[in-house]
A and B are shown apart, each in its own frame.
Chain A
Amino acid sequence: MHIAEGVLSGPVLASGAVLAMAGTAIGLKKIDYDRIVHVAILASAFFVASLIHVNVGPASVHLILNGIVGLLLGFAAIPAILTALFLQSVFFQYGGLTALGVNVVVMAAPAVLVHYLFLPLLGKSSTLTFVAGFLSGLLSILCSSLLLGLSLWFTDKNFFETSLVIITAHIPVMIIEGIITGFCVSFLLKVYPEIIPVKKK
């Protein structure tokens, strides 16, 4: 999912950087500073998740976990994802530093989207909580794949082909992340409900 150095054209990189900066500014403004530890915990989970690779057939896919980060943090997910992606790039050469802005947009925009779509469902019932978590995990990867395809399209003009390849490669990740997010949200709601914003209200 990470875009490497030298893949995208200059205008795409610049647009990504501007969007990421704007999103980070909004995110920093919206962070509840009493819940900053939750932001750090989820940023750490995101940072480590990409290092966890699973063999699916001949391919090797890795977790992303932008769904759970976005679901629980909303706009605050943007600075969290930015920090984690920067560290991944510096420490593990996952994604290029010049593509950091685009990578942030690709992974954080769907994360914010699932927050507003599925957060109201959390805590309604155990089944709905799991379903909300599952759909957050699944949809965030699907949207990230589409955004990745879109960013490559502006450089390459093969949007449908590229997107199809990316989405197909990420179908196992969508399902795995859906299940993990569903279980994590259900578990957190029981043992540590403070981390879920809806429970605070």
Chain B
Amino acid sequence: MKIKQVLILVLIFAMLPAGFAFAHRVIIFAWVEDGMIYTESSFGSKRKAKDCVITVIDEKGLLIHKGQTDQEGNYSFKIPEKVDSDLILKLDAGTGHQAQWRISKNELVTDHSENDIQVAKDIQAAMKEKEKLEESPFIFKIVGGIGIIFMLALAVKFFKRKIS
């Protein structure tokens, strides 16, 4: 009997760290280069979002383009013609797991010959934003959430005791 108990304990504890390693949130990152829009999609910083649907809409919500990420979580397409609006790229990685990225209409101008430095700066800024997203303090949110749950439970108990 004891061996069985130990085995169950080991199984539970062995699953915990492995589980947390998979914890993630979905991210989409996009940039404009040489007349193309490139996207990278991932779950956190490590796992690529494979075969996920990317929908491109304009500011009014009209569908402009639709595609699917490859095995590396990448997807690229030509800048759509006759679009005079910011583009919103939505990534759907399953029910409830969505992310989006906005590309302003100024970035969509294909003639960058005079603005190469500005474009490089934009890409650099976008890269920094991507890194920031990936390094979000996930563990603090988990601990904070659990703390809130316990505080609520204690508050409810205190409130109930006061009433009775």
**Which A residues form the contact surface with B (CB < 8 A)?**
1-4, 28, 31, 33, 36-37, 39-40, 43-44, 47-48, 51-55, 58-60, 63, 83-84, 87-88, 91-95, 148, 166, 169, 180, 183-184, 186-187, 190-191
CB-nearest residue of chain B relative to A40? B153
6 pairs, A vs B, C-beta closer than 8 Å = A47-B146, A93-B25, A166-B95, A169-B94, A183-B12, A187-B8
Q: How many angstroms between the C-alpha atoms of A60 and B92 in the bound complex?
A: 12
Q: How many angstroms between the C-alpha atoms of A40 and B24 in the bound complex?
A: 23
B95 contacts A187, C-beta separation under 8 Å: no
Chain A residues with Cβ under 8 A from B153's Cβ?
A: 36-37, 39-40, 43
B160 contacts A33, C-beta separation under 8 Å: yes
B125-164 interface mask toward A, CB cutoff 8 Å, 1 = contact, 0 = none? Answer: 0000000000000000110111011101110110011000
B11 at the binding interface (Cβ < 8 Å)? yes
How many A-B residue pairs have C-beta atoms within 8 angstroms? Tell me: 97
Q: How many angstroms between the C-alpha atoms of A169 and B51 in the bound complex?
A: 14
- Contact partner of B149 (CB less than 8 A), chosen from A43, A51, A191, is A43
B-side interface mostly: helix
B145 contacts A87, C-beta separation under 8 Å: yes
- Contact partner of B22 (CB less than 8 A), chosen from A33, A54, A92, is A54
Chain B residues with Cβ under 8 A from A83's Cβ?
A: 149, 152
Chain B residues with Cβ under 8 A from A148's Cβ?
A: 95
15 further interface pairs, Cβ-Cβ under 8 Å (given A40-B149, A48-B146, A51-B23): A2-B96, A2-B97, A33-B156, A33-B160, A47-B142, A47-B146, A48-B145, A51-B20, A55-B47, A58-B51, A83-B152, A87-B145, A87-B149, A93-B25, A95-B96
Chain A residues with Cβ under 8 A from B142's Cβ?
A: 47-48, 51
Q: How many angstroms between the C-alpha atoms of A52 and B142 in the bound complex?
A: 12
Shortest Cβ gap from A121 to chain B (Å): 19
Shortest Cβ gap from B41 to chain A (Å): 12
Chain B residues with Cβ under 8 A from A53's Cβ?
A: 22-24, 43
A44 contacts B146, C-beta separation under 8 Å: yes
Closest 9 CB pairs of A and B: A2-B96, A40-B153, A52-B19, A53-B22, A51-B23, A91-B141, A87-B145, A44-B146, A187-B8
Chain B residues with Cβ under 8 A from A48's Cβ?
A: 142, 145-146
Chain A residues with Cβ under 8 A from B51's Cβ?
A: 58
Q: How many angstroms between the C-alpha atoms of A179 and B42 in the bound complex?
A: 29
B49-78 interface mask toward A, CB cutoff 8 Å, 1 = contact, 0 = none? Answer: 011000000000000000000000000000
B8 contacts A87, C-beta separation under 8 Å: no
Chain A residues with Cβ under 8 A from B150's Cβ?
A: 40, 44
Q: How many angstroms between the C-alpha atoms of A52 and B22 in the bound complex?
A: 6
B45 at the binding interface (Cβ < 8 Å)? no
Q: How many angstroms between the C-alpha atoms of A112 and B97 in the bound complex?
A: 26
Q: How many angstroms between the C-alpha atoms of A3 and B144 in the bound complex?
A: 23
B83 at the binding interface (Cβ < 8 Å)? no
